[in-house]
Structure 1
Amino acid sequence: MKKEVIIIGNGIAGITLAVLLQRKNIPFVILHREEEKQSFALGETLPPTAMLLLHELQLLSVFEENAYRKTYGYHSMWGSSKVTDINFFHQNPYKNGLKINKQQTLAQLQAAVKEHTVSYQKGFEIIHSAHGNTVILAKNDGIKIVQGKILVDATGRNRAVLKKLKVESTIHDELVAVSCHIPKIKHPKLTHEVYVESFKEGWGIVSALNETENICSLFTDVGNEILPKLKDASQWKSTLAETTYLKDFLTEDTTTKVKGGNANSSVATQIAGINWLALGDAAMSFDPLSSHGITNAIYTSAKALEAIEKKLNVADVKAFPEYAETLQSVFKQYLQSKDLVYQQETRWKDEVFWKRFFITGS
């Protein structure tokens, strides 16, 4: 199989790029690994800024069709013992975000490019040269060879392609998340369906997942003494008993399963090469506090399309380096803004989790 573009990974970033390439009639193939495990549903919320980007890419209707509802703000208890109501009313041109069903949204986008999708079961290898890329897929019934001019890493935080290309990552912190689904309750003192609260050892967010469930995610650092307790959802309520409203959402159900994973800020040391590039979390991963995850996937896909068009249509040798430079600049600005947000929480500035944000020159 020979294509102009080979995309490895079929999450939001890879599928968005595939849809955009299809519109431009640029031949591509999506390679994705079949997984037996069912994905863990997260309460994904798109901010108003993402609405404009989706509109410009003519993708807004897809995300709206697969949204649980529009969102008009969120509550936060951060840097103060008082709840702040962050309302989207003053946002322009869109005054709402979206609480989306990520799995359903992905399924609709994946269906649009299904005929360009190839699955594999046992991994892949890359033969990479200045003239193109050859990907060898290991399948249950043998191997399949795919050739393309441009290779795209859309494998998320795994950065599976970058690892094959010996590209390293710069890790900026050791933030981890533990999440679980809990029964949905309507808090008597909160109106929005998203609530963020900081505490001595980290912070947490409760967000509506659907009509009957919330998802709660708690964030702390690797090695923090609270982490072992957070791995057992039945201990959450007692462990976080000193929180103001967060504890009200928590359960003592011993059957509730906890899902853990990295939530740190990291960036690939090289985001693009002569004939390859990374996008979404494979290029740069953001702290969930930023709410940039899906927006980053969509934004980098749009920028990748621009670079790929220049590379294929006019042989622009600067296209990929400029793409990488743009993303590096975005990530640098993000790091500065992230630290400023954490520095707003001064109540526990001497505690292990928080003190790094107040060290001069950190």
Structure 2
Amino acid sequence: MKPDRVVVLGCGPAGAAAAITLASHGISPVVIDPRPSVEWEPGEGLPSAANALLRRLGVWPSFQASGHLRSSGFLSCWGSDEPFFRPAMLDPRGASWQLDRPAFNAVLRDAAGTLLTRQVHGVRRDGPRWTVDHLEADFLIDATGRSSALARMLGVPRRVDSRLVGMVALLPDPSPAEAASIVEAVADGWWYASRVPGDRLVVALFTDAAAARSISVDRWNYLLKSTLFVGPRAVLSTPPKIKTVVAGSSALSRCAGPGWLAVGDAACAHDPLSSRGLHDALSGGIAAAEAVALGDLSAIDAYASRVAAEYRAYLDDLAWFYRQENRFTESEFWKARSGQV
């Protein structure tokens, strides 16, 4: 039976997409998020495949008016010293974006409906109904990111498949007209650089968590200056403030159960090399909400099975891709990312 009240825990892209989609099906969700806003998050790119999702959610005009930058393409050096440039204009789905992430989140949060900014201290299930603190609901959606807070309260374990972290700095951009993003493989992992609005540059080293513990700011600077392409893109006038963020692959042992499901990173989180994070958050939020709106247990089961199958396939692809790091030519790099190799 179609639920009357759905509570969405978390209002990042996945939670907001779920809430917007529920409303389109005649369900008025209540969204609870402890964060009043997001000042900055790494992972500032949105692939062109997400453009259709933003249109579907009805936020495309607001998104376009939010000051995001168009990417001119992607420069990669993966397994060889010779760079390869893939121009964005060749993508039939339209522009990829270098995001003003707070503005992106604000557009989605504004469209998500009733938003309560507070912590959730506990959930309880009595028969078919949930109580979230003092709020009753028929169904709960966990959109709390990698913490998977609801699933953790319910005792659902989370498996960690890789311990990749990103050591990220937000720097002044010496060349704000340079619209290409860069990926460069190195012995310690791989580097990423991309401009974002406000004449800023995101620069990140992705490496194993154990290795990251021995990388000081000075060492990070040294490794950056040793790169062929990312280092020359960045100019360090003062020691950067580096934020270390979890970036590896992990997933819940099950992403749905009686009266609840998980979406986005709460269900499964991806390596940023896959460029799937924000796109999958939006598409997963839509798919989850549509399953909930059907009011059919088989739809929830189908959603959970699809998420699990896609995550297993992703792990196989990612493992294969990293094994190829030292043999790819640059054209093969991008063919592999698009599934052509």
Determine which of 130, 154, 160 is the counterpart of 2:143: 154
For residues 344-359 of structure 1, the aligned pairs below 5 Å read 344-346=324-326
Match among 197, 204, 210 for residue 191 of structure 2: 204
Alignment of 1:188-203 (within 5 A): 192-203=179-190
1:247 aligned residue (216, 231, 235): 231
Q: Deviations over 1:258-293 (max 9, x none)?
A: 111110101110100011000010001000111111
Q: How does 1:301-320 map to 2 (within 5 A)?
A: 301-311=285-295, 316-320=296-300
- 8 A Cα contact 2:72 2:180, kept in partner: no
Q: Contact (CA 8 Å) 1:279, 1:304: kept in 2 or not?
A: yes
* Code of the aligned partner of 2:210: G
Name 1:219's counterpart in structure 2: 206
Quick one: structure 1 residues 335 and 3, their matched pair in 2 at CA, closer, same or farther if it must change by over 3 Å? same
Q: RMSD of the alignment, in Å? A: 2.4
Summarize the Cα distance change of 1:90–1:253 in structure 2 as closer, same or farther, 3 Å threshold.
Answer: closer
The amino acid that maps onto 2:123 is I
2:100 matches 1:107: no
After alignment, is 335-344 or 192-201 more displaced? 335-344
Percent of aligned positions that are identical: 27
Length-normalised TM-score, structure 1:
0.83
Q: Following TM superposition, by how much is the alpha carbon of 1:130 offset from its aligned partner in structure 2, in angstroms?
A: 4.7
How many angstroms does 1:247 deviate by?
Answer: 2.1
Alignment map for 1:40-79 (pairs within 5 Å): 40-42=40-42, 44-79=44-79
Check if 1:327 corresponds to 2:307. Answer: yes
Give how far 1:129 is off.
4.3
Moved more, 266-275 or 99-108: 99-108
SS of match in other structure, 1:110 = helix
- The 5-angstrom pairing of residues 23-42 of structure 1 reads 23-34=24-35, 39-42=39-42
SS in structure 1 of the partner of residue 122 of structure 2 = strand
1:126 aligned residue (123, 127, 133): 123
In structure 2, what is the equivalent of residue 141 of structure 1?
none
Preserved contact between residue 74 and residue 193 of structure 1 (Cα < 8 Å): yes
Q: Find the counterpart in structure 1 of residue 156 from structure 2.
A: 167
Q: Return closer, same or farther for 1:97/1:128 CA change in 2, 3 Å cut-off.
A: same
Instruction: Give the unaligned 5+ runs of structure 1.
Output: 137-144, 349-362
**Partner deviation per Cα, 1:331-362 (whole Å, 9 max, x = no partner):** 122222222332231179xxxxxxxxxxxxxx
Distance 2:229 2:107 in 1: 36
Aligned counterpart for 1:268 among listed residues 252, 257, 261: 252
Matched AA of 1:306? E
Kept in 2, the 8 Å contact 1:280–1:300? The answer is: yes
Higher relative contact order, chain-length normalized (CA < 8 Å, sep 6+) = 2
Conserved in 2, the CA contact under 8 Å of 1:126 and 1:135?
yes
Q: Tell me the TM-score normalised to structure 2 length.
A: 0.88
**Cα distance between partner residues in 1 of 2:98 and 2:23:** 27
The count of corresponding residues between Structure 1 and Structure 2 is 326
Shift of 1:252: 4.5
Secondary structure class of the residue paired with 1:228:
coil
Matched-pair contact (CA < 8 Å) for 1:8–1:31: yes
Deviations 1:13-63 (A, max 9, x none): 11121122222220210111146x963343521112222333344333333
